[in-house]
Amino acid sequence: MENKETNEMVIKSSDWKITAAILILAALITIGIWYTCKKVVPVTPEPEISINTLMQIRNDSEDSVLVYVTLGMTPGCIHNVSMIPYVTDSVSGQRGLQGTFILAPGDNTISWAPDSLGYNGVISFNHAPDNCSAPSYTNGLNQFEFIINNAFQGPGAQETIDISCVHGVNCVIRVNLSSECNTWNAGPTFPSVQGFANTMDRSQIGTPGVYPYGCDTCTGSKTPPSCIQLPQPHQKNAICNVQRDATLSGGTVYVIYLAKEEPLK
Protein backbone atom coordinates (compact mmCIF):
# COMPACT_ATOMS: atom_id res chain seq x y z
CA MET A 1 0.00 0.00 0.00
CA GLU A 2 2.71 2.44 0.89
CA ASN A 3 4.66 1.57 -2.26
CA LYS A 4 1.61 2.24 -4.49
CA GLU A 5 0.91 5.61 -2.89
CA THR A 6 4.58 6.50 -3.10
CA ASN A 7 4.65 5.60 -6.80
CA GLU A 8 1.53 7.70 -7.44
CA MET A 9 3.15 10.67 -5.66
CA VAL A 10 6.31 10.28 -7.71
CA ILE A 11 4.27 10.17 -10.93
CA LYS A 12 2.27 13.22 -9.90
CA SER A 13 5.46 15.08 -8.98
CA SER A 14 7.01 14.06 -12.28
CA ASP A 15 3.96 15.26 -14.19
CA TRP A 16 4.10 18.64 -12.42
CA LYS A 17 7.77 19.08 -13.25
CA ILE A 18 7.19 18.20 -16.92
CA THR A 19 4.28 20.63 -17.12
CA ALA A 20 6.32 23.40 -15.49
CA ALA A 21 9.21 22.75 -17.86
CA ILE A 22 6.89 22.92 -20.85
CA LEU A 23 5.41 26.20 -19.62
CA ILE A 24 8.85 27.71 -18.99
CA LEU A 25 10.05 26.60 -22.44
CA ALA A 26 6.96 28.04 -24.08
CA ALA A 27 7.50 31.31 -22.25
CA LEU A 28 11.13 31.46 -23.33
CA ILE A 29 10.19 30.75 -26.93
CA THR A 30 7.55 33.48 -26.83
CA ILE A 31 10.01 35.98 -25.35
CA GLY A 32 12.63 34.99 -27.91
CA ILE A 33 10.23 35.48 -30.82
CA TRP A 34 9.10 38.87 -29.40
CA TYR A 35 12.70 40.05 -28.93
CA THR A 36 13.76 38.87 -32.39
CA CYS A 37 10.79 40.57 -34.03
CA LYS A 38 11.47 43.75 -32.11
CA LYS A 39 15.08 43.78 -33.27
CA VAL A 40 14.25 43.43 -36.96
CA VAL A 41 11.54 46.10 -37.05
CA PRO A 42 13.12 48.97 -39.01
CA VAL A 43 13.38 52.28 -37.19
CA THR A 44 13.08 55.44 -39.24
CA PRO A 45 16.14 57.60 -38.45
CA GLU A 46 15.73 61.19 -37.39
CA PRO A 47 16.30 63.51 -40.36
CA GLU A 48 19.68 65.25 -40.35
CA ILE A 49 19.51 69.00 -39.89
CA SER A 50 21.53 70.92 -42.47
CA ILE A 51 22.98 74.15 -41.12
CA ASN A 52 23.95 76.65 -43.80
CA THR A 53 26.40 79.49 -43.43
CA LEU A 54 24.42 82.68 -44.04
CA MET A 55 25.61 86.00 -45.47
CA GLN A 56 24.43 89.52 -44.73
CA ILE A 57 25.55 92.72 -46.51
CA ARG A 58 25.42 95.94 -44.51
CA ASN A 59 26.03 99.62 -45.23
CA ASP A 60 27.62 101.39 -42.26
CA SER A 61 28.57 104.48 -44.26
CA GLU A 62 26.69 107.79 -44.49
CA ASP A 63 25.82 107.35 -48.18
CA SER A 64 23.77 104.94 -50.23
CA VAL A 65 25.87 102.37 -52.04
CA LEU A 66 25.35 100.43 -55.25
CA VAL A 67 26.15 96.79 -54.52
CA TYR A 68 27.25 94.36 -57.24
CA VAL A 69 26.90 90.60 -56.73
CA THR A 70 28.81 88.57 -59.34
CA LEU A 71 28.40 84.80 -59.18
CA GLY A 72 31.02 82.23 -60.10
CA MET A 73 30.42 79.19 -62.30
CA THR A 74 31.40 76.61 -59.66
CA PRO A 75 29.38 73.38 -60.12
CA GLY A 76 26.95 72.83 -57.26
CA CYS A 77 26.50 76.57 -56.59
CA ILE A 78 23.75 78.96 -57.70
CA HIS A 79 24.27 80.38 -61.19
CA ASN A 80 21.59 83.05 -61.43
CA VAL A 81 21.20 86.21 -59.34
CA SER A 82 17.41 85.93 -59.69
CA MET A 83 17.64 83.40 -56.83
CA ILE A 84 19.04 86.05 -54.47
CA PRO A 85 16.11 87.76 -52.71
CA TYR A 86 17.69 91.20 -52.32
CA VAL A 87 19.09 91.61 -55.86
CA THR A 88 16.77 93.95 -57.76
CA ASP A 89 18.41 94.20 -61.20
CA SER A 90 20.25 91.76 -63.44
CA VAL A 91 23.13 93.28 -65.41
CA SER A 92 22.62 92.95 -69.15
CA GLY A 93 24.99 90.64 -71.02
CA GLN A 94 26.13 88.73 -67.91
CA ARG A 95 23.95 85.61 -68.42
CA GLY A 96 22.28 86.09 -65.07
CA LEU A 97 25.57 85.92 -63.18
CA GLN A 98 25.68 89.59 -62.12
CA GLY A 99 23.10 91.73 -60.39
CA THR A 100 22.85 94.93 -58.39
CA PHE A 101 20.84 96.59 -55.65
CA ILE A 102 21.07 99.84 -53.67
CA LEU A 103 21.68 99.74 -49.93
CA ALA A 104 20.70 102.84 -47.97
CA PRO A 105 22.87 104.22 -45.12
CA GLY A 106 22.54 102.04 -42.03
CA ASP A 107 20.55 99.41 -43.92
CA ASN A 108 21.31 95.72 -44.43
CA THR A 109 20.08 92.74 -46.40
CA ILE A 110 18.52 89.72 -44.77
CA SER A 111 20.91 86.97 -43.65
CA TRP A 112 20.59 84.49 -46.50
CA ALA A 113 22.10 81.54 -48.35
CA PRO A 114 20.55 79.27 -50.99
CA ASP A 115 19.00 75.98 -49.89
CA SER A 116 20.79 72.81 -51.01
CA LEU A 117 23.31 74.73 -53.12
CA GLY A 118 26.66 76.41 -52.54
CA TYR A 119 27.19 80.17 -52.77
CA ASN A 120 30.26 81.42 -54.64
CA GLY A 121 31.10 84.80 -56.06
CA VAL A 122 32.29 88.36 -55.58
CA ILE A 123 30.71 91.40 -53.91
CA SER A 124 31.88 94.85 -54.92
CA PHE A 125 30.70 98.35 -54.14
CA ASN A 126 29.89 101.28 -56.46
CA HIS A 127 31.50 99.51 -59.43
CA ALA A 128 31.48 96.10 -61.09
CA PRO A 129 34.64 94.00 -60.52
CA ASP A 130 37.46 95.08 -62.81
CA ASN A 131 41.08 94.00 -63.17
CA CYS A 132 42.41 97.54 -63.59
CA SER A 133 41.61 101.03 -62.44
CA ALA A 134 38.24 102.41 -63.51
CA PRO A 135 38.07 105.96 -64.89
CA SER A 136 36.30 107.12 -61.73
CA TYR A 137 38.56 105.16 -59.36
CA THR A 138 42.19 105.69 -60.25
CA ASN A 139 43.44 103.70 -57.24
CA GLY A 140 41.73 100.60 -58.56
CA LEU A 141 38.92 98.44 -57.17
CA ASN A 142 38.74 95.96 -54.31
CA GLN A 143 36.16 93.23 -53.71
CA PHE A 144 34.94 90.60 -51.27
CA GLU A 145 35.37 87.02 -52.53
CA PHE A 146 33.65 83.94 -51.10
CA ILE A 147 32.57 80.34 -51.38
CA ILE A 148 30.36 78.95 -48.60
CA ASN A 149 28.21 75.85 -48.06
CA ASN A 150 30.44 73.81 -50.36
CA ALA A 151 30.80 70.58 -48.39
CA PHE A 152 29.43 68.80 -51.48
CA GLN A 153 32.92 69.19 -53.00
CA GLY A 154 34.06 66.33 -50.80
CA PRO A 155 36.89 65.70 -48.32
CA GLY A 156 39.22 68.66 -47.88
CA ALA A 157 36.71 71.26 -49.12
CA GLN A 158 37.01 74.62 -47.38
CA GLU A 159 34.60 77.48 -46.94
CA THR A 160 36.82 80.39 -47.99
CA ILE A 161 36.47 84.17 -47.84
CA ASP A 162 38.79 87.13 -48.44
CA ILE A 163 39.02 90.78 -49.41
CA SER A 164 41.02 91.17 -52.61
CA CYS A 165 42.97 94.40 -53.10
CA VAL A 166 44.97 92.81 -55.95
CA HIS A 167 43.47 95.33 -58.39
CA GLY A 168 43.59 98.31 -56.03
CA VAL A 169 41.27 99.89 -53.45
CA ASN A 170 38.14 102.00 -53.90
CA CYS A 171 36.48 101.42 -50.52
CA VAL A 172 36.88 99.99 -47.03
CA ILE A 173 35.24 96.60 -46.50
CA ARG A 174 35.00 94.92 -43.14
CA VAL A 175 34.03 91.28 -42.54
CA ASN A 176 32.66 90.11 -39.19
CA LEU A 177 32.17 86.42 -38.48
CA SER A 178 29.52 84.91 -36.22
CA SER A 179 30.41 81.24 -36.22
CA GLU A 180 29.30 79.77 -32.88
CA CYS A 181 31.93 77.14 -32.08
CA ASN A 182 33.16 76.49 -35.65
CA THR A 183 35.90 79.08 -35.91
CA TRP A 184 37.55 80.45 -39.03
CA ASN A 185 41.33 80.70 -39.49
CA ALA A 186 43.96 82.27 -41.72
CA GLY A 187 46.40 79.39 -41.39
CA PRO A 188 48.66 78.63 -38.43
CA THR A 189 49.67 82.30 -38.17
CA PHE A 190 46.08 83.26 -37.32
CA PRO A 191 44.33 80.11 -35.99
CA SER A 192 41.17 82.00 -34.99
CA VAL A 193 39.73 84.90 -37.00
CA GLN A 194 36.56 86.73 -35.97
CA GLY A 195 36.84 89.65 -38.36
CA PHE A 196 39.12 91.55 -40.74
CA ALA A 197 39.14 94.65 -42.95
CA ASN A 198 41.21 96.37 -45.61
CA THR A 199 42.49 99.94 -45.41
CA MET A 200 42.44 102.64 -48.08
CA ASP A 201 46.14 102.19 -48.86
CA ARG A 202 47.20 99.45 -51.25
CA SER A 203 49.72 97.47 -49.22
CA GLN A 204 47.58 95.64 -46.59
CA ILE A 205 50.75 93.89 -45.37
CA GLY A 206 50.24 91.78 -42.24
CA THR A 207 46.44 91.88 -42.38
CA PRO A 208 44.79 88.43 -42.38
CA GLY A 209 42.09 87.84 -44.97
CA VAL A 210 43.33 90.55 -47.36
CA TYR A 211 45.25 90.13 -50.62
CA PRO A 212 47.71 93.04 -51.11
CA TYR A 213 47.94 95.08 -54.29
CA GLY A 214 49.31 93.08 -57.21
CA CYS A 215 49.78 89.92 -55.11
CA ASP A 216 47.50 87.34 -56.69
CA THR A 217 49.22 84.51 -54.78
CA CYS A 218 49.22 86.41 -51.46
CA THR A 219 52.94 85.89 -50.89
CA GLY A 220 53.87 86.98 -54.40
CA SER A 221 52.68 87.78 -57.90
CA LYS A 222 52.13 85.07 -60.51
CA THR A 223 49.69 86.36 -63.14
CA PRO A 224 48.50 89.81 -62.03
CA PRO A 225 46.80 92.14 -64.53
CA SER A 226 49.22 93.73 -66.98
CA CYS A 227 48.27 97.21 -65.75
CA ILE A 228 49.93 96.55 -62.37
CA GLN A 229 53.60 97.46 -62.05
CA LEU A 230 55.77 94.87 -60.32
CA PRO A 231 57.24 94.14 -57.88
CA GLN A 232 54.82 95.04 -55.10
CA PRO A 233 55.08 94.39 -51.33
CA HIS A 234 53.62 90.97 -50.47
CA GLN A 235 52.58 88.98 -47.43
CA LYS A 236 55.34 87.04 -45.69
CA ASN A 237 52.97 84.18 -44.77
CA ALA A 238 49.93 82.75 -46.59
CA ILE A 239 47.31 84.60 -44.55
CA CYS A 240 45.13 86.05 -47.31
CA ASN A 241 42.40 83.40 -47.21
CA VAL A 242 40.21 82.96 -44.17
CA GLN A 243 38.79 79.46 -44.19
CA ARG A 244 37.41 76.48 -42.30
CA ASP A 245 36.37 72.89 -43.05
CA ALA A 246 33.27 73.08 -45.26
CA THR A 247 31.51 70.47 -43.12
CA LEU A 248 31.61 72.93 -40.19
CA SER A 249 29.18 75.37 -41.80
CA GLY A 250 26.89 77.63 -39.80
CA GLY A 251 26.78 81.13 -38.40
CA THR A 252 26.76 84.33 -40.45
CA VAL A 253 29.31 86.19 -42.56
CA TYR A 254 28.70 89.94 -42.30
CA VAL A 255 30.08 91.96 -45.24
CA ILE A 256 30.13 95.60 -44.20
CA TYR A 257 30.68 98.62 -46.42
CA LEU A 258 32.38 101.33 -44.35
CA ALA A 259 33.75 104.09 -46.57
CA LYS A 260 34.61 104.91 -50.13
CA GLU A 261 37.29 106.65 -52.08
CA GLU A 262 35.82 109.81 -53.55
CA PRO A 263 35.52 109.12 -57.28
CA LEU A 264 36.88 111.62 -59.78
CA LYS A 265 34.26 113.90 -61.30
Question: Each residue of 33-71: pLDDT tens digit?
Answer: 444 334 444 444 444 445 899 999 999 999 999 999 999
- Decide: pTM greater than 0.85: no
Where is pLDDT greater, at 120 or 2?
120
Beta carbons within 8 Å of 257's beta carbon, 6+ residues apart: 57, 58, 59, 60, 61, 65, 67, 103, 125, 171, 172, 173
pLDDT of residue 25: 56
Residue 9 has pLDDT above 50, yes or no: no
Percent of the chain with pLDDT over 90: 68
- What is the average pLDDT score of the chain? 85
pLDDT of residue 255: 98
Residue 22 has pLDDT above 80, yes or no: no
- 240: closest CA among 213, 221, 212, 199? 212
pLDDT of residue 229: 87
Cβ–Cβ < 8 Å for 136, 237: no
Q: Per-residue pLDDT averaged across 247-251, rounded? A: 95
In angstroms, the CA 96 to CA 78 distance is: 10
pLDDT of residue 52: 94
Residue 264 has pLDDT above 80, yes or no: no
Helix (H, G, I), strand (E, B) or coil at 166: coil
Using 50, 70 and 90 to split pLDDT, how confident is the model at 209? very high
pLDDT of residue 226: 86
Q: Per-residue pLDDT averaged across 9-34, rounded? A: 52
Q: Per-residue pLDDT averaged across 149-172, rounded? A: 96
